Amino acid sequence: MAAVAGVSRGTVSRVLNGGHNVSRPAAEAVRKAIRQTGYVVNQHARSLVTQRSQSVAFVLTEPQERLFEDPNFSLLMHGCTQALAEHDITLVMTIAGMPDERARVARYLTSGHVDGALLVSTHRGNPLLDALAAQDLPVVACGKPIGYERRVAYVGVDERDGARQMVEYLTGLGRRRIGMITGPLDTAGGIERLAGYREVLGAAGDESLVVTGDYTRASGEAAMERLLAQAPDLDAVFVASDLTAAGALTVLRRAGRSVPGDVAVGGFDDSSIALTSQPALTTIRQPWARISSEMVRLLLGLMAGDAPSAVTLPTELVVRESA
């Protein structure tokens, strides 16, 4: 390659890396030779010296199905891809749902393939976090990573306040028997959204009105059925995710309860499903674009040597038809 262009490897390298300190004719010759030979740098050789791979992983620590069911992940990943592209960094996705996959992924991530990792949907005690932290890989989580709040950077929304907004809105509508379908209680979103609900309802809180879900659509169906059995007189439900709320809607329809007439339904996320569900969901908007750009900003910071920090973003009530 250097031979074809009639210059030294050093000069080739210089034009490849910005072209500083290279004469016009030399740069031209190199570019021409690259076109002729179809030369592509060997990323390993480059990374071995730069200590950078110019790529970052988007790690999903969830059974695979969730990714494909929940439209939020898509949004988040797209936003991150865009933001990283501006810095000439490629995003690759990796799934570590099962324990054995986790070990493999941990090895992949820590052995230099990537310069950092964006972690999505982290449950309490996620073992991957230990492995990554031990190797000092820059990591930023989406949502507060319980148990690692201090050591791992993250960006999340004010979950509790979002829940509060929704429950206050339902209360304001005159609803008195307000149920809740929570998220998984080993995640910040699961815990905090429930806390917000309790904060508003206070002593009025009735345990038969609360059922635990796990953010999936299926859990929304199951939980709604239980809720209808335990508290047939409920006139509203706050559901911790739109996808789960869509499941609840199906059950409500089947049970002959009109929404919002008989039962008002409030979701969380403002994901695409909120618009396509029947009726369209009143929900709490998470600023996905902002979340992804902040995640990337923090990650780039960590890669540059910054200490881990946390960003908390506000949410917003979006009123549609379901409540």
Partner DNA sequence: CTGAAAGCGCTTACAG
The option from a copy of itself, DNA, none interacting with 100 (CB < 5 to 8 A, set by class) reads: a copy of itself
Greatest C-alpha distance within the chain:
84
62: helix, coil or strand? coil
Closest separation in Å from C-beta 31 to DNA: 12
- The residue length of the chain stands at 323
Shorter beta-carbon distance to a copy of itself: residue 108 or 124: 108
| Dihedral of the alpha carbons of 150, 152, 155, 158, in degrees to the nearest 10 | -30
Closest separation in Å from C-beta 82 to DNA: 25
Shorter beta-carbon distance to DNA: residue 50 or 276: 50
The strand ranges marked E within the chain are: 55-60, 90-95, 117-120, 139-142, 153-157, 178-182, 210-212, 236-239, 264-266, 283-285, 310-313, 316-318
* Residue 46 binds to DNA (criterion: CB under 7 A): yes
The option from a copy of itself, DNA, none interacting with 77 (CB < 5 to 8 A, set by class) reads: a copy of itself
Shorter beta-carbon distance to a copy of itself: residue 40 or 203: 40
Closest separation in Å from C-beta 37 to a copy of itself: 11
Residue 236: strand pairing partners: 178, 264
Phi, then psi, of 322 in degrees rounded to 5: -80, -10
Q: Give the residue, chosen from 4, 16, 93, 131, that forms a contact with DNA under the rule CB under 7 A.
A: 16
| Burial of 288 per CB tally in 10 Å (0-12, 13-18, 19+) | buried
* Residue 135 binds to DNA (criterion: CB under 7 A): no
* Residue 82 binds to DNA (criterion: CB under 7 A): no
* Residue 38 binds to DNA (criterion: CB under 7 A): no
Rg of the chain taking only CA atoms, in angstroms? 24
289: helix, coil or strand? helix
* Residue 35 binds to DNA (criterion: CB under 7 A): no
Residue 178: strand pairing partners: 236
The option from DNA, a copy of itself, none interacting with 295 (CB < 5 to 8 A, set by class) reads: none
- Which residues, other chains included, contact 200 with Cβ-Cβ below 8 Å and sequence gap of 6+? 163, 164, 167, 168, 171
In angstroms, the CA 8 to CA 23 distance is: 13
Residues found near a copy of itself in the complex (CB under 8 A):
38, 40-45, 47-48, 53, 55, 57, 64-65, 67-68, 71, 73-74, 77-78, 81, 85, 90-95, 100-101, 104-105, 107-108, 110-113, 134-135
Cβ(116)–Cβ(90) below 8 Å: no
Shorter beta-carbon distance to DNA: residue 21 or 229: 21
Q: Give the residue, chosen from 35, 38, 45, 261, that forms a contact with DNA under the rule CB under 7 A.
A: 45
Q: Give the residue, chosen from 12, 83, 181, 323, that forms a contact with DNA under the rule CB under 7 A.
A: 12
* Single-letter amino acid, residue 267: G
Shorter beta-carbon distance to DNA: residue 135 or 250: 135
Shorter beta-carbon distance to DNA: residue 53 or 250: 53
* Single-letter amino acid, residue 6: G
* Residue 10 binds to DNA (criterion: CB under 7 A): yes
Contacts to DNA by CB under 7 A: 1, 7-14, 16-17, 20-23, 25-27, 39, 41-42, 45-46, 48-50
